[in-house]
Amino acid sequence: MAEAKFQKVETGGMNRRRKVLLIIAAGVLALAVISIWGACMDPAKYAPNYEARRLMPSLSHLFGTDHQGRDMFFRTICGLSTSIQIGLLSAVISSLVALFLGSLSAVFGGRVDTAVGFMVDLCMGVPHLILLMLISIAMGGGAAGVITGVAVTHWPNLTRVIRAEVLQVRSAQYVQIARKLGMSKWHIAAKHIVPHVFPQYLVGLILLFPHAILHEAAITFLGYGLPLDTPAVGVILAESMKHLATGMWWLAFFPGIALLLVTQLFDIVGDYLKILIDPHSARQ
Amino acid sequence: MAILEVKHVDFRYGSGPWILKDISFSVEEGERVAILGPSGYGKSSLAKVIAGYLQPQGGEVLWEGKPLPPSGFCPIQLIYQHPEKALNPRWKMKDSLEEAGVPSGEVLTEMGIQEKWYERWPNELSGGELQRFCVARVLKPETRLLICDEMTTMLDAINQAHIWNFVLSYAEKHNMTLLAITHNQYLADQVATRVLRIPELNHIQVDRSEL
């Protein structure tokens, strides 16, 4: 009887697990398709075509065209691709900084901990967007400036999380017991500490993408980021502002929605990944 | 010769009030000693100091006349009151059980550990089931002194009796010394050959009834 009950619960769990896996896979696939499609796109697709200017969205131009007759759909895809790549690069750099500083802070404690805490406070004390702009301008603008800016300003939150996680697991009873059972430092680091911190790190990394992407778009929109000739969502949105008054609403509407959807996709992938690797929900 | 010597041990957490003051006693090899006392008298802290989890601010704990070895399998093993904290929540039961080698078949059978539990996570078993794993994992020839800190508090009477019976017979057979920490006078009388009362051991000046 009890056996049968257990079996039933378990098959129910497999279905949910599969559903979660499916959602994650679909999210990752959609993001991969957009970034590869955009990166490999022939620039002729969104080149100016003065015979098709200011067209409303239609089947031949899904997102309409702008005042130079550029197809906004292909331009948006290309822009999103740029955003995803920049987001990916800067989120990875930021998260590695966070991993390094967070672990350093937790393992050494004392003055190292104070120093890292000071850096975190310093970075969080300055308004984020201002700091981003300053770094981007100091680096001479362009893609390099944006990536550096986004990468060196997104680590503080994750650093705090990782520091707390490492501290917690290091003092956990099961880790102390493992030491008393004669396990080596390497065994404890590899079997207890890394598996505890890595999922938090991974989820933190994925949840950094939307931040990085939105900040990239924001400083580009304000004119301190990517140059005007790159197809970027920030550039598209900034340009569209000039044409809103003439009634070309689609210039801002579709790229804005697309940017929102992409950031949401990252959020969804991150949240579902959390469900998947947390032991309290892993079997549900 | 005493196998364990606790000499004038003082302990407190950080700069808080003293928990243990000038505690001294010794345990002979193969003896079964119970430390009895009400809640809040520092029994668990004393257990952690003896097992080397906490360092005393004063005095020393000697194992066979020497301080405890800092690394390797510790001859003094402690079983905690809270098994759910003593097991890595991200490990399946089998991995936790076999972290320091596979326990003998006799231990597994006598502790009532079922193989279908092996592939489960700690949050899927009850406190009593988890505690069996925690006990089984330290019942090894290398363990010379076992400290049981309220080991069976979360179990029903029948399982308590079963686990204690087995631990006692195991201790007898393998000449393992036992130190049972409990607030239960009846349990202390049942399992121990000598009962130490912590209010008499602990020379703390504060009147705890006022705390």
- B130 vs B133: CA distance, rounded Å: 5
Which residue on chain B is closest to A280 by alpha carbon?
B123
B78-112 confidence digits (pLDDT tens): 998 889 899 998 899 999 999 988 888 889 988 88
Which of A201-205, A244-248, A280-284 shows the lowest per-residue confidence on average (mean pLDDT)?
A280-284
Specify the pTM: 0.75
Report which secondary-structure segment, H or E, holds B178.
strand B177-182
The residue of chain B nearest to residue A197, with distances taken between CA atoms, is B90
User: Which chain A residues in 106-125 lie under 8 Å from chain B, judged by CB atoms?
Assistant: none
| Nearest residue on chain B to A187, alpha-carbon basis | B99
Element (H, E) at B35: strand B32-36
The mean of the pLDDT values for chain B is 89
Residue A198 near residue A109 (C-beta atoms within 8 A): no
Mean pLDDT score, A150-169: 90
Complex ipTM value: 0.88
Domain boundaries, chain A: 86-261
A100 vs chain B: nearest CA distance in angstroms?
23
Where do the domains of chain B lie, and which CATH numbers do they carry? 2-210 (3.40.50.300)
CA distances from B15 to B45, B152, B177 (A): 15, 32, 33
Question: Which residues of A are less than 8 Å from B77 in CB distance?
Answer: 180
Task: Name which of B13, B154, B2, B174 is nearest B79 in CA terms.
Answer: B154
pLDDT of A120: 92
Partner-chain contact A176 B99, CB within 8 Å: no
Closest-CA residue of A relative to B87 is: A174
Instruction: Write out chain A residues lying below 8 Å of B121, CB-based.
Output: 279, 282-283
Distances in Å between the Cα of A21 and the Cα atoms of A79, A282, B109 are: 28, 11, 39
Contacts of B117 in chain A (CB under 8 A): none
Compute the average pLDDT of residues A259-267. Answer: 89
Q: Looking at residues A186-215, what average pLDDT do you find?
A: 88
Nearest Cα of chain A lies from the Cα of B55 at a distance, in angstroms, of 13
CATH superfamily entry for domain A86-261: MetI-like (1.10.3720.10)
Q: What's the pLDDT at A4?
A: 45
Between A254 and B206, where is the model more confident? A254
C-alpha A276/C-alpha A20 separation (Å) is 7
CB contact under 8 A, B124 and A196: no
| Contact partners, residue B101, CB within 8 Å, separation at least 6 | B140
Taking only the tens place, the pLDDT of each residue in A72-127 is 888 888 888 988 888 888 889 999 999 999 988 888 888 999 999 999 999 888 88
Q: CB–CB of B137 and A279 under 8 A?
A: no
